[in-house]
Amino acid sequence: MQGECDLVIGNDVDVRKLSLAELQEIKRRWFEMANQGGKVEAAQLVALGLGQRVRDDFVYEATENGQRILFKADRHLGGVVVLVNDKRVLDTRRGEGLFVPGGWELVLDRLYSHEQKMLEMRDQDARREQQRQLLIDELLLEE
C-alpha cells in the first residue's frame, strides 16, 4: 500500500499479504473514523437505551438478515462491544480499539435513530410535566 492507507479493503485485496504495519494502520484509522463519526457513541446508546441489564452490562440483541447482532455496554467502565454472529466488530474495552465496517452499521444507524427519537419524546414529556407542575403551583391558592 502506497501513501495513505486504503480505508476500504476491496475484494481484490488479500489481507493476508498486507504487512503488520499496514494492518495496524487500517485498524487504527477505522476505529478513529468510527469514533469521530459517532459510531462508538451510537452503539453505546443503543446498548444502554434498548438493552436489558445483565450484571454490570446492558445488552441488546438484534437479528437482521440472518445475522445476530449483540450490543453490549459496560455501565461502570463506559466500554462498548458489538458482536456480529459472535465476531467482534466494535470493541472499546481493549486499549487499542477495534472497528470493522460492514452491513451491521445499517442496523446500528436505524436503532440509534430510533433511540434518539425515543429520548426526544421522553425529554418532551418531562418538559411538559415540569410545565404542568409549575402551572399547578401557580394556580393553587395558598391557604
* pLDDT by residue, tens only, the chain of 143 residues: 333 334 556 656 788 888 999 999 999 999 999 999 999 999 998 998 888 888 878 999 999 888 999 999 987 777 899 999 999 999 998 777 999 999 999 999 999 998 888 878 877 877 888 888 877 877 886 65
Beta bridge partners of 68: 63
Across 60-87, b (16+ Cβ under 10 Å) vs e yields: bebeeeeeebbbbbbeeeebbbbbbeee
d(CA 124, CA 133): 14
